[in-house]
Amino acid sequence: MRLCRFEPDRVGLLDGSNVHDVTSALGALGAFRYPLPSHDVLIEALPGLRESLLDEARRVSAVALEDLDLLSPVANPGKIIAAPVNYQKHLLEVRGDVALHHHGMIHDIQRAGLFLKAPSSLIGPSQRIKIRSTERRTDHEVELAVVIGKPCRQVSRTTAANYIAGYSIALDITERGTEERSLRKSIDTYTVLGPWLVTADELPDAGALDLSLEINGELRQKANTRDLILGVADLIEFASSYYGLLPGDVILTGTPQGVGPIRPGDAITASIERIGTMRVEVEAA
């Protein structure tokens, strides 16, 4: 299944270049009372909802995808976990540029560990990235995003696949500077997720996917997920040894070489093989 969200707070199933609005099948999610769950209840319920979503998609007519304003396919991730330097060529690129490494502060992922981005930074492709400061350099990072489907902790890499709901494309937008990553990368609109969630049954192996990013039609990043230092299963093992993972938690797997600045007026096109392509515009805050 390819599941998307679009304005105004609708949920859709993709059917080629069309979308069936299956929002009414979400009634089965039930009502919640305060305090609300701290994970994404749609992602949690997805396995049980599958048949009713497909039935609803058969029942309602489709609208053209291009007419929709796409939102983040995960509405309420409890946390967004990110891998800092997880492609060898990106590590070399960062070590070679003081604007990126800030006087040797960069280490490989086994030493640097992981970091968190605030869920409040999350937007979908139709919502523009708003540059906080045009005085500071702000960079694009295209990344494969993994969405966790089931609660887990202390997962071994050999069973990690059981806990994956699916995959999306992410942009980890980054203000350069010496401050903590969680500050510079959690600015409002600095995490983009989209264009939809491809459920794991459609993508059993995310370990060899081409990914790329263009700015205004010019290729900036091009790599393959086989070059990840820690692959998807390794990252789930690593993250779940620190945090309990919950449905809807997102893991950004790290960006490959080719990072560079974005400016107001730019249009970013990010693609990952077998997931799709999303276009995101950039403006001043």
Residues that bind Mn ion (CB under 5 A): 141, 172, 255
Confirm if 270 and 142 have CB atoms less than 8 A apart. yes
Indicate the residue whose CB is closest to Mn ion. Answer: 172
Shortest gap between Cβ of 132 and Mn ion (angstroms)?
Answer: 17
Shortest gap between Cβ of 36 and Mn ion (angstroms)?
Answer: 29
Q: Outline where DSSP puts E strands in 141-239.
A: 142-148, 164-172, 174-175, 191-199, 210-215, 218-224
Shortest gap between Cβ of 181 and Mn ion (angstroms)?
Answer: 8
Which residue lies nearer to Mn ion by CB, 44 or 141?
A: 141
Beta bridge partners of 3: 13, 197
Which residue lies nearer to Mn ion by CB, 84 or 247?
A: 84
Which residue lies nearer to Mn ion by CB, 18 or 227?
A: 227
Which residue lies nearer to Mn ion by CB, 4 or 83?
A: 83
Which residue lies nearer to Mn ion by CB, 68 or 251?
A: 251
Shortest gap between Cβ of 149 and Mn ion (angstroms)?
Answer: 22
- Determine the 3-state secondary structure of 43 from DSSP: helix
What are the C-alpha distances in Å from 128 to residues 72, 100, 121? 12, 24, 12
Which residue lies nearer to Mn ion by CB, 168 or 255?
A: 255
Beta bridge partners of 260: 140
Q: Is 177 left (phi over 0), alpha (psi -120 to 50) or beta?
A: left
Q: Please give the structure tokens belonging to residue 177.
A: 């500077």
Shortest gap between Cβ of 150 and Mn ion (angstroms)?
Answer: 25
One-character DSSP codes across 223-273: EEGGGBSS-HHHHHHHHHTTS-B-TT-EEE----S--EE--TT-EEEEEET
Shortest gap between Cβ of 99 and Mn ion (angstroms)?
Answer: 16
